[in-house]
A and B are shown apart, each in its own frame.
Chain A
Amino acid sequence: MERKAILKLKDGKEFTGTAFGADAAQGIGEVVFNTGIPGYQEILTDPSYAGQIVTLTSPMIGNYGISSEDNESSGIKAAALVVKKLYRGPVMEGRITLDEFLRREGIIGIEDVDTRALTLHLRNHGSQNAVIFFPEDRAEAEKKLAAFPEITERDLIDGVSVKKKVENPDLGPGFSKPPMNAKKHFAVVDYGIKRSIIENLYKRDISVTLLPHTAASEDVLAVNPDALFLSNGPGDPALLSDAVSMVRALIGKLPIEGICLGHQIITIAIGGRTEKMKFGHHGSNHPVRDLLTGRTFVTAQNHGFMTVKESLPETTNLWFVNANDGTVEGLYDETLSVRSVQFHPEAAPGPEEAESIFDIFMEKAR
């Protein structure tokens, strides 16, 4: 049965559509849009989307179903899904439908939404909190939305990080296994890491000790790694003072590398600053220029916060900049032995041409 649902933004703008996925759920969080074309499964299961309602601008979603091999984490991390048109037909043997996946994971989706209008609205007015509800729950949902904390006030990491240290985690079906003969060993702090990042390390014969986000500098040193690697993850880096302290304590003691949120933590740790972007970069087509080689990569991106270029210390070099808007996409500082990228070289979903960044991460480790 088709069930009407409403997506309401904090600034009052409303969209109506049809609910799918979990029947009784409500979705609340910051609504963002992603312009990638294939890859809804990877997006939904990317822990960086924790606490966010994801709008996909690509209008036909669910076409190829959900496979058991493409999850970027244990399950759906996004708070809800907004699409123009959900595919409800049969999918290939061994896969399940997107509708079924959301139902199993207890997540609500809303389809038949004018996602183009929603995207333009977010572009013009900025990302903001929103709620998806059934018409009969309006009063309660609106109250909840009004009281809901902003993304800059939410601690989302605890819900997506491992709770205790894990050696060479098994990534599940479809992913590479840990290396038999590791050439290097990384301490990886998990702020909500994507499986594809770990896989890229494994593929380069790097063994991984996955540490919880609460790990202190001593915990890192205790595993005697060749490098400290800071993962991607959800939310505002400015809230992560413990992580920043941990990194600061290790600067000069270990090569420190990071992706996305990890990059932002490094920014703050070396004395820089981050700020919230109007609507962020979420998609699979963002050009970044490698200032060392002049080459431009088309990259996968997913971030709502960014490094403020002017805030970086003098010794720090820009590594990559966004070819569209000039924002910082990567930095390195040889004196401090730090190196990080804002975009996602592991892609998943998105173009895989920047995977060579992991080679550099490997090379720059001790």
Chain B
Amino acid sequence: MRRDDIHHILVIGSGPIVIGQACEFDYSGNQAVRALKEEGYEVSLINPNPATVMTTPSLADHIFLEPLKKEYIERIFDQVGPDAVLSTMGGQTALNLTMELQKDGTLEKYGVKVIGASADAIEKAEDRGKFKDIITELGYESARSGIAHSVEEALEIKKSIPLPLIIRPSFTLGGMGGSIAETEEDFIPLVEHALSISPVHEILIEESLIGWREFEMEVMRDRKDNAIIVCSIENIDPMGVHTGDSITIAPIQTLNNEEYQRMRTASIEILRAVGVDCGGSNVQFALSPDHSRMVVIEMNPRVSRSSALASKATGFPIARISAKLAVGYTLDEVKNEITGESVSCFEPALDYVAVKVPRFELEKFPLEASALGTQMRSVGEALALGRTALEAINKAFRSSEQKLEGITALDRKKHDPELLLRSAHPLRYLAAYTAIKEGETDLEKLSKITGFDIYFLSLLMEQKEIEDALEKGPLTEELYMKAKKAGLSDKRIKELSGSEIPVKVLPARHYVDTCAGEFEALTPYCYTSFDEEDEGEGLGKDAVIIVASGPNRIGQGLEFDTCCTLSSRAFRKHGRKTVMINSNPETVSTDYNTSDRLYIAPLTAEEVLAIMEKEGTKDVVVQLGGQTPLNMAAELEKNGAHIVGTSLESIDETEDRALFSAVVKKLGLRQPENRTASTVDEIKEKAHEIGFPVLLRPSFVLGGRAMFIAYDDAGLETFIKKPEVTISSEAPVLVDQFLEDAFEYDLDAVSDGTSVYIGGILQHIEAAGIHSGDSAAVFPPYKSKPEILEEMREWTLRLAQHLNVRGLMNIQFAEKDGKLYIIEVNPRASRTVPFISKSSGVDLVEAAVRVWLGEDLVQQGLVKERGSWSEGRCITGWAIKEAVFSFDRFSHVDPALGPEMRSTGEVVGYGRTFGEAYAKSQAAAYNRLPVSGRVIISVNSKDRKTIVPIARSLQELGFHILATKGTARDLFKEGILADVVLKTQDGHPNIVDYIRLRKADLIINTPMGFHSRQSDDDIRTEAVKAHIPYTTTTSAAKAAVEAIRYLQERRTVVRELPQR
């Protein structure tokens, strides 16, 4: 029964994307908001992440893109008066925040109830000691362990449990700060680190279950004690690899009924004992390799990454139903939307296998052998469905877009399979395949070494048989079908057999129906498989296919998924049917409600073409999903697809350097000097022609992969030696003039080929040379001359008309010494489209969709006069986007920013003043701007003038100023007294010492040029570790000053996003 004692619910989102907390919480929050609106509640939402679907106007009644901090939530309580808060949709962040509000009495003060999971249940589940007691009382086993609050307590525990030991800090995200102590020497430093990272200075030290089998149960329970297992998940990787980093398979494959039911019963009993009675949780188990000991690992009393995966693996919408349970319904009262006839109090039956393969950023965040552990390192994941396990695994590897054409043996030139077999490494399963492919038949032995169950190794034997047969040939129809059923791609089959495909066969369409065919499916959630009977009919010519963006990665994530989702909504609103294709289970685009038909499939041309044919349509949208769909666009078009919007020729004109330079010349625009080089010698030659510094990058990359700024010949060498750099005439290296100290801009627009609607122009705070995705950016531009902005708009119109841009376009500009340069043009959706859309109140994606449907911008009312431009304005005063990093996951990675993108997410700060917006953007990004204390200033000679008013302001604001020698001297000349600190290379105590001892609260350190790069890097690295805010430009420093001024007023205000 619906609760009538509450009327207005605040949903807390999860904030920026970081490793361990990604799109899945946009998906769950989005489902929750919709479910609550359906029930007639007023819904407020707080989430400072502008890339999300959930914060798109029209869904929630009140949307606050405000920092996820207590004081902001309190203001929301004041301002719009919710009487309940849903705590379980925003990951660990929302859960922790709710606990904080509960503990300090804020909820009570405002009369706000917690729904979803009670504070008591959260406490019992999250507090490792209490949880362990519950497990023991229930008669189950936990890993032997102890809780420590100090090194002494930790040493005491170590006496009773042998090494290796797992050390986990309490209350951190995704197991952050967790580690494994293998030796006596490791132990104390790891304990110290974990203690420092836990917000409550508490750690758990436990017996190592490394090498055991790992399982998860996704459970839901309601207040009538009805409980169901939505999905069981088996980790193919053994214990010791974070479940987020493991290859997983659903349902559980290797347990018999008795073992499975034991786990099922335990899961439900645990939820009951913890007190989860209106929502979902996941419970994790370890099983010894001989199945004799079952150990309960942990539970999460909320929706999670696993629950998003389970929802997509089964079709059962956990977040939606959790929201219904949170407002009083019971499972037997909620209809199963997929079948329309059954109720939600049942357990999905799968007649397929769902496999998840995580996606790592091995190039950006390199992993040593055995790098995986208790801390999550992957940035995304791909899901594949297949009728058999091998098929699903092959598809999932392909879906992960890590240049793996399914299960393949490793190249011995690049990898050491023997080392990887013994390592907790993303490639371990493929190392096992390599051994098998090379003739290993002792699966028992291999299982002992790797921790993979023999069952999963047997699947690899089957793969080998198929690969061997293909290599031996001939490629008969029968063999071809066998390979297709095992999930091999045409490309791989051709590679292995050296022959052409003997016969063209389309796969069958299957529905994901939650019930293994027992009831008819009403919801069109599909996958494909070979040699089976087709279900249903194609949607026909009316449908348009949207190719989404695949697994999250740096540079291509939530923003693009949001564009895909919004486009599907817009198409449907304007009368066209949509077919969404994606492999990322975390997303809103893979919610079965988003499109008329959804396919979970690898994003490859083969799959898209097959779906195109099955659906009977040729229209394919490739400009919304980032680089993934664009990379296959040519092949799609060659095989009969009609690419919606801007033509491929135009896209080529912007991506091909020579063609683009010709365009720039023809239209009378300006770009930095640029050359292409196909050999090492040419790189050097061209660099000298242009003059240093030069920006170097390989062609056709997203997110600035392997980009590098060289200040001299040594820099060139460094670039050339990078392993990911290939130099050839097919993929030449791009050599550009680097505009040092330029201001950069991002412009997002929609065009119909004649007119242009500019959503907005963003000005970066960081200087040129830092990737646009990593730079804080301000909308509208905060310090630009009107004539420069005017020139940008004119250039945009010229480019759009010349390229006949139909749809979205993004242009990056730079301004140096009053001259405008065009850096690049992307005739596709950019990362900033959702941000600009929200902040300007005009949905650029919908405008693009309407252009594609034949309605030009004048007809849409966005542009007055055909052939001209118009521009949106910021409806929130100031909007500042700040990048968020996950560097704290990679202790060995240098956090210095550069031309290669490394941020994982973003937040926005909205404000009436620049200071307010910047302060909020920093708070939302978890950068703690100080309101008092010490500031260390060390700026290069160019910045010595600019820094003066900044230093003066800081002094006025009550800060104590420290500066390095040169800076201090120049400040003194202007009447500002600063204490001198040493530079790192000049002895002790130096800047780094101050940072380590937490004797600094803010650092302003502008780059001293190439030669002191190392010491600058040290400063940044230490600042990140110590969580001390630092700025690398005087413009950012100035922004910080304004923000500090705002913070000192201590008047927290929240602003509702205006909705049309």
Given that A41-B256, A67-B256 are contacting pairs, would A351 and B264 also be in contact in the complex, using a CB cutoff of 8 Å?
yes
* Cβ contact within 8 Å between A352 and B261: yes
Q: Which residues of the other chain, B, contact A51 by a CB distance below 8 angstroms? A: none
Q: Which interface residue of A42, A57, A92, A324 has the most chain B CB atoms within 10 A?
A: A324
Binds A, one of B133-141, B454-462, B744-752: B454-462
Besides A57-B349, A59-B388, A285-B515, 7 new A-B residue pairs in contact (Cβ under 8 A), listed by A number: A42-B257, A84-B351, A84-B388, A88-B458, A90-B458, A114-B531, A323-B345
Q: Which residues of the other chain, B, contact A41 by a CB distance below 8 angstroms? A: 256-257
Binds A, one of B196-204, B247-255, B539-547, B679-687: B247-255
Q: Which residues of the other chain, B, contact A59 by a CB distance below 8 angstroms? A: 351-353, 387-388
* Cβ contact within 8 Å between A89 and B332: no
Contact of B533 among A35, A70, A116 (CB under 8 A): A116
- Complex: A347 Cα to B262 Cα, angstroms: 12
Interface residues of B in 214-232 (CB under 8 A from A): 224-228, 232
Task: Tell me, yes or no, whether B291 is within 8 Å of chain A by CB.
Answer: yes
Interface residues of A in 260-302 (CB under 8 A from B): 283-287, 289, 294-296, 298
- Complex: A64 Cα to B456 Cα, angstroms: 12
In the assembled complex, 12 residue pairs joining A and B whose CB atoms fall closer than 8 Å, in A order, are A37-B252, A38-B260, A59-B387, A85-B389, A90-B458, A114-B531, A285-B348, A287-B343, A287-B346, A298-B228, A323-B342, A350-B261
Task: Tell me, yes or no, whether B986 is within 8 Å of chain A by CB.
Answer: no
Q: With CB as the reference atom, state the residue of chain B lying closest to A293.
A: B224
Q: Which residues of the other chain, A, contact B352 by a CB distance below 8 angstroms? A: 59
* Cβ contact within 8 Å between B255 and A323: no
- Complex: A119 Cα to B511 Cα, angstroms: 13
Q: Which residues of the other chain, B, contact A294 by a CB distance below 8 angstroms? A: 224
- Complex: A323 Cα to B342 Cα, angstroms: 7
Task: Tell me, yes or no, whether A120 is within 8 Å of chain B by CB.
Answer: yes
Q: Mark A218-252, 1 if CB is under 8 A from B, else 0.
A: 00000000000000000000000000000000000
- Complex: A61 Cα to B917 Cα, angstroms: 58
* Cβ contact within 8 Å between B461 and A286: no
Interface residues of B in 337-372 (CB under 8 A from A): 341-343, 345-353
Q: Which residues of the other chain, B, contact A35 by a CB distance below 8 angstroms? A: 349, 351, 515-518
Q: Which interface residue of B255, B332, B443, B457 has the most chain A CB atoms within 10 A?
A: B332
Q: Which residues of the other chain, A, contact B533 by a CB distance below 8 angstroms? A: 114, 116-117, 120
- Complex: A279 Cα to B455 Cα, angstroms: 33
Contact of A352 among B265, B387, B388, B454 (CB under 8 A): B265
Q: Which residues of the other chain, B, contact A123 by a CB distance below 8 angstroms? A: 517-520
Q: Mark A332-366, 1 if CB is under 8 A from B, else 0.
A: 00000000000000011111110000000000000
Q: Which residues of the other chain, B, contact A316 by a CB distance below 8 angstroms? A: none
Task: Tell me, yes or no, whether A258 is within 8 Å of chain B by CB.
Answer: no
- Complex: A324 Cα to B348 Cα, angstroms: 13
Given that A35-B516, A60-B388, A116-B510 are contacting pairs, would A285 and B347 also be in contact in the complex, using a CB cutoff of 8 Å?
yes
**Chain A count of residues within 8 A CB distance of the other chain:** 50
Q: Which residues of the other chain, A, contact B919 by a CB distance below 8 angstroms? A: none
Q: With CB as the reference atom, state the residue of chain A lying closest to B388.
A: A85
For the complex formed, measure the closest distance between the CB of A97 and the CB atoms of chain B, giving whole angstroms: 11
For the complex formed, measure the closest distance between the CB of B236 and the CB atoms of chain A, giving whole angstroms: 13
For the complex formed, measure the closest distance between the CB of B442 and the CB atoms of chain A, giving whole angstroms: 11
Contact of B261 among A58, A119, A286, A351 (CB under 8 A): A351
Q: Mark A27-67, 1 if CB is under 8 A from B, else 0.
A: 00000010111110110000000000000011110011001
For the complex formed, measure the closest distance between the CB of B955 and the CB atoms of chain A, giving whole angstroms: 68
Q: Mark A77-89, 1 if CB is under 8 A from B, else 0.
A: 0000000110111
* Cβ contact within 8 Å between A89 and B461: yes
* Cβ contact within 8 Å between B532 and A114: yes
Task: Tell me, yes or no, whether B325 is within 8 Å of chain A by CB.
Answer: no
Q: Which residues of the other chain, B, contact A348 by a CB distance below 8 angstroms? A: 257
Q: Which residues of the other chain, A, contact B254 by a CB distance below 8 angstroms? A: 63-64
Interface residues of A in 178-218 (CB under 8 A from B): none
Task: Tell me, yes or no, whether B331 is within 8 Å of chain A by CB.
Answer: yes
**Chain B residues within 8 Å of A, Cβ to Cβ:** 224-228, 232, 251-261, 264-265, 268, 290-291, 330-332, 341-343, 345-353, 387-389, 443-444, 454-455, 457-459, 461, 510, 515-520, 531-533, 535
Q: Which residues of the other chain, A, contact B257 by a CB distance below 8 angstroms? A: 38-39, 41-42, 70, 348-350
Task: Tell me, yes or no, whether A73 is within 8 Å of chain B by CB.
Answer: no
Task: Tell me, yes or no, whether A115 is within 8 Å of chain B by CB.
Answer: yes
* Cβ contact within 8 Å between A87 and B458: yes
- Complex: A92 Cα to B352 Cα, angstroms: 24
Chain A: interface secondary structure? Answer: loop
Contact of A285 among B232, B291, B346, B517 (CB under 8 A): B346
Q: With CB as the reference atom, state the residue of chain A lying closest to B386.
A: A59
Given that A35-B515, A57-B517, A67-B256 are contacting pairs, would A296 and B226 also be in contact in the complex, using a CB cutoff of 8 Å?
yes
For the complex formed, measure the closest distance between the CB of A89 and the CB atoms of chain B, giving whole angstroms: 3
Q: Which residues of the other chain, B, contact A295 by a CB distance below 8 angstroms? A: 224-226
Nearest 4 CB-CB pairs, A to B?
A89-B458, A349-B257, A117-B533, A57-B516
Q: Which residues of the other chain, B, contact A63 by a CB distance below 8 angstroms? A: 253-254, 455
- Complex: A347 Cα to B261 Cα, angstroms: 10
For the complex formed, measure the closest distance between the CB of A313 and the CB atoms of chain B, giving whole angstroms: 27
Q: Which residues of the other chain, B, contact A89 by a CB distance below 8 angstroms? A: 443, 454-455, 457-459, 461
Interface residues of A in 15-35 (CB under 8 A from B): 33, 35
* Cβ contact within 8 Å between B255 and A90: no
* Cβ contact within 8 Å between B258 and A70: yes
* Cβ contact within 8 Å between A38 and B252: yes
* Cβ contact within 8 Å between A287 and B532: no
Q: With CB as the reference atom, state the residue of chain B lying closest to A39.
A: B257
* Cβ contact within 8 Å between A58 and B350: yes
- Complex: A289 Cα to B459 Cα, angstroms: 41
* Cβ contact within 8 Å between B256 and A90: no
For the complex formed, measure the closest distance between the CB of B879 and the CB atoms of chain A, giving whole angstroms: 49
Q: With CB as the reference atom, state the residue of chain A lying closest to B269.
A: A353
For the complex formed, measure the closest distance between the CB of A67 and the CB atoms of chain B, giving whole angstroms: 7
* Cβ contact within 8 Å between B349 and A324: no
- Complex: A38 Cα to B332 Cα, angstroms: 24
Given that A57-B517, A92-B291, A115-B351 are contacting pairs, would A70 and B256 also be in contact in the complex, using a CB cutoff of 8 Å?
yes
* Cβ contact within 8 Å between B255 and A64: yes
Q: Which residues of the other chain, B, contact A289 by a CB distance below 8 angstroms? A: 332
* Cβ contact within 8 Å between A60 and B389: yes
Contact of B517 among A88, A119, A287, A298 (CB under 8 A): A119
* Cβ contact within 8 Å between A57 and B258: no
Q: With CB as the reference atom, state the residue of chain A lying closest to B389.
A: A60
Q: Which residues of the other chain, A, contact B330 by a CB distance below 8 angstroms? A: 296
Q: Which interface residue of B265, B347, B350, B459 has the most chain A CB atoms within 10 A?
A: B347
* Cβ contact within 8 Å between B264 and A296: no
Q: With CB as the reference atom, state the residue of chain A lying closest to B339.
A: A324
Given that A59-B351, A84-B388 are contacting pairs, would A323 and B332 also be in contact in the complex, using a CB cutoff of 8 Å?
yes
* Cβ contact within 8 Å between B389 and A351: no
For the complex formed, measure the closest distance between the CB of B959 and the CB atoms of chain A, giving whole angstroms: 63
* Cβ contact within 8 Å between B251 and A37: yes
Q: With CB as the reference atom, state the residue of chain A lying closest to B531.
A: A114
Given that A59-B388, A347-B261, A353-B265 are contacting pairs, would A284 and B347 also be in contact in the complex, using a CB cutoff of 8 Å?
yes
Q: With CB as the reference atom, state the residue of chain B lying closest to A84.
A: B387
* Cβ contact within 8 Å between A351 and B347: yes
- Complex: A41 Cα to B259 Cα, angstroms: 13
- Complex: A351 Cα to B330 Cα, angstroms: 19
Given that A87-B455, A117-B532, A324-B343 are contacting pairs, would A37 and B256 also be in contact in the complex, using a CB cutoff of 8 Å?
no
* Cβ contact within 8 Å between B256 and A116: no
* Cβ contact within 8 Å between B351 and A324: no
- Complex: A323 Cα to B519 Cα, angstroms: 14
Contact of B353 among A60, A349, A351 (CB under 8 A): A60
Q: Which interface residue of A88, A296, A348 has the most chain B CB atoms within 10 A?
A: A296
Q: With CB as the reference atom, state the residue of chain B lying closest to A123.
A: B517
Q: With CB as the reference atom, state the residue of chain A lying closest to B348.
A: A285
Interface residues of A in 90-125 (CB under 8 A from B): 90, 92, 114-117, 119-120, 123
Q: Which residues of the other chain, B, contact A119 by a CB distance below 8 angstroms? A: 351, 516-518
- Complex: A298 Cα to B264 Cα, angstroms: 12
Q: With CB as the reference atom, state the residue of chain B lying closest to A66.
A: B256
